[in-house]
Structure 1
Amino acid sequence: MDDIAAETANAPASSDEPIKVLCVDDDPDYLDLIAAHLSDHDDLSVRTETAPAEALAHVDAVDCVVSDYEMPGTNGLEFLSDVRARAPTLPFVLFTGSERAAIAEEVPDSTWTEFLRKNSPATTMSILAGRIRRLVHHHRTMRTAERSLTAIEATGDAVAVVDPDGAFSFVNRVFASRFGADPDDLVGRPWRECFPDEEVERLESTALETVRDDWQWTGGTVCETDGGDTFTAQTRVAGLDDGSLVFCLTGAGEE
């Protein structure tokens, strides 16, 4: 168990390969501006397209898509929907002149989607590069972790990964079964819902503080199902480089 947790927690967050970015905008002048600014960064490789329909043919070969919001024939949300049909977790940055709140409700899953307003290029392009790196870094970390966790599915260990926002992004069947649920029932939900309030407070003040100091934490915990039943488990919490957490439960039994 310790070896598996260590392998997952210490998995490389990203490769040394350049980040391949596909930029889509019907304004060729602004598209050239984006490409020029992003290409100044050695770790970013940029491809441009003015037509969303043609851009779709390249989404499988890139690490991130940057798209204008207002385009003739289709808007950025429609293009995002088309991209998600081909690549559900591909990082996507949507350029918009609107407030994020005005369009965010139309995005079914914003885990891999960022919104950025078109302001002064001097500031916007630097922010854009940072958004791209953060999304791709997180995406690569999760892909590496999921490859490690595939092997865990064949073991008796109960393992779940929590994204930096505090929601489960991966839950194996053993972990879910401890809570009388299916993995899909827990993915997307806050990890705190699996523990009584007082236990959440203890974990936040002990386990998470230990993990933030680059250590792993192990201790007994009280877990709680949706039905209110509780059980105890020996719990290991480890951190990934992007701020995600790995929870491993052993020795669980009903109270």
Structure 2
Amino acid sequence: MTDHVDTTVSTQSTVEETIDVLCVDDDRDYLELIEEHLSRNEDFAVRTETTPSAALDALDEVDCVVSDYDMPGMDGLDLHAKVRERSATLPFVLFTGSARAEIAEQFPDDIWTEFLRKDDPKATMPILAGRVRRLVDHHRTLRQANRSLTAIEATGDGIAVVAPDGTFTFVNRVFASRFGADPEDLAGQPWQTCFPDNEVERLESTAIETVRDDWQWTGGCRYLTDGGSEFTAQTRVAGLDDGSLVFCLTDSDE
């Protein structure tokens, strides 16, 4: 027997998180100019340092580092290397008057690091703010996704995500273990491989159609292991906005 559960969720507006930016430049006047422009963004909190060594002491408190390149004692790329020793993914913008060609061979191949040339402040500062926000938003999204995956792995339920093309894109260890497999063994496989043929037909005509109508489906399912044996498990199937499916295997009677 199936349950039709309305999955409509009310959304609440949330206060936008503050983006803590650390700006490093030995030119105090230009540093003040950066701070003035970035601080016009209400969600930015800006801290400034005139030496890279002082900046290194503040890394735990920031979401992004914006650094000049040509500084005495330690240039911007040296600072970047020190930052990467502490954090492989902390967003970093090298903001410099030097042309990129001058430092091309030294510039890191790193998705969390961007280069921006100091030009007319009226044109460049909005670009800088946009680069910082994009890097930080990406970093926060990835961090949240990693936390979610950790939580999924910790649950006692078997969970798998099926892409719109019908193949598994994510399988947690609990789900895979029910089939005597590892998650990577099931990744990329059609979801139908986990069910006997007549169960596939039933799911396609009931569960999948129900989910396409913006409902969840819950019911008992027969599963097929790699070795050809079957087991029955209570299962929830839900849909995601992009057309993906989520299978949640909650219990089984093997």
TM bucket (normalised to shorter chain) is 0.5 to 0.7
**2:37 corresponds to which residue?**
37
Deviation at 1:49, TM superposition (A): 0.3
**1:137 corresponds to which residue?**
137
- Are the counterparts in 2 of residues 59 and 87 from structure 1 also a CA contact under 8 Å? no
Letter in 1 for 2:104: I
- Are the counterparts in 2 of residues 238 and 247 from structure 1 also a CA contact under 8 Å? no
SS in 1 for 2:17: coil
- Are the counterparts in 1 of residues 172 and 183 from structure 2 also a CA contact under 8 Å? no
SS in 1 for 2:88: coil
SS in 2 for 1:124: helix
Unaligned runs of 5+ in 2: 1-6, 163-168, 190-213, 215-236, 250-254
Deviation at 1:101, TM superposition (A): 9.4
Distance of 1:66 and 1:21 partners within structure 2: 7
- Are the counterparts in 2 of residues 22 and 47 from structure 1 also a CA contact under 8 Å? yes
**1:157 corresponds to which residue?**
159
Deviation at 1:158, TM superposition (A): 5.1
Distance of 1:150 and 1:101 partners within structure 2: 42
Distance of 2:67 and 2:88 partners within structure 1: 16
| Larger relative helix fraction | 1
> Following superposition of structure 1 onto structure 2, how do residues 178-193 of structure 1 map, counting pairs within 5 Å?
178-179=183-184
Distance change >3 Å, CA 177–CA 238, structure 1 → 2: farther
Deviation at 1:249, TM superposition (A): 8.6
SS in 2 for 1:152: helix
- Are the counterparts in 1 of residues 38 and 44 from structure 2 also a CA contact under 8 Å? yes
Deviation at 1:15, TM superposition (A): 6.1
SS in 2 for 1:71: coil
Distance change >3 Å, CA 171–CA 15, structure 1 → 2: farther
Distance change >3 Å, CA 178–CA 148, structure 1 → 2: closer
Distance change >3 Å, CA 179–CA 250, structure 1 → 2: farther
Unaligned runs of 5+ in 1: 1-5, 161-167, 182-193, 196-215, 217-233, 240-245
Deviation at 1:171, TM superposition (A): 9.4
**1:62 corresponds to which residue?**
62
Letter in 2 for 1:157: I
Q: TM-score, normalised by structure 1?
A: 0.57
Distance of 2:159 and 2:40 partners within structure 1: 46
Q: TM-score, normalised by structure 2?
A: 0.57
How many residue pairs align between the two structures? Answer: 186
Deviation at 1:115, TM superposition (A): 1.2
RMSD: 4.4
**1:103 corresponds to which residue?**
104
What do the CA deviations read for 1:110-164 (whole angstroms, capped 9, x no partner)?
A: 2x1111111111111010011111111111112222111111223543569xxxx
Distance change >3 Å, CA 87–CA 171, structure 1 → 2: farther
- Give the structure with higher Rg (CA): 2
- Are the counterparts in 1 of residues 23 and 49 from structure 2 also a CA contact under 8 Å? yes
Letter in 2 for 1:21: V
Deviation at 1:59, TM superposition (A): 0.8
**1:227 corresponds to which residue?**
none
SS in 2 for 1:20: strand
Distance of 1:15 and 1:79 partners within structure 2: 33
**2:195 corresponds to which residue?**
none
Distance of 2:109 and 2:172 partners within structure 1: 23
- Are the counterparts in 1 of residues 171 and 183 from structure 2 also a CA contact under 8 Å? no
Deviation at 1:237, TM superposition (A): 7.2
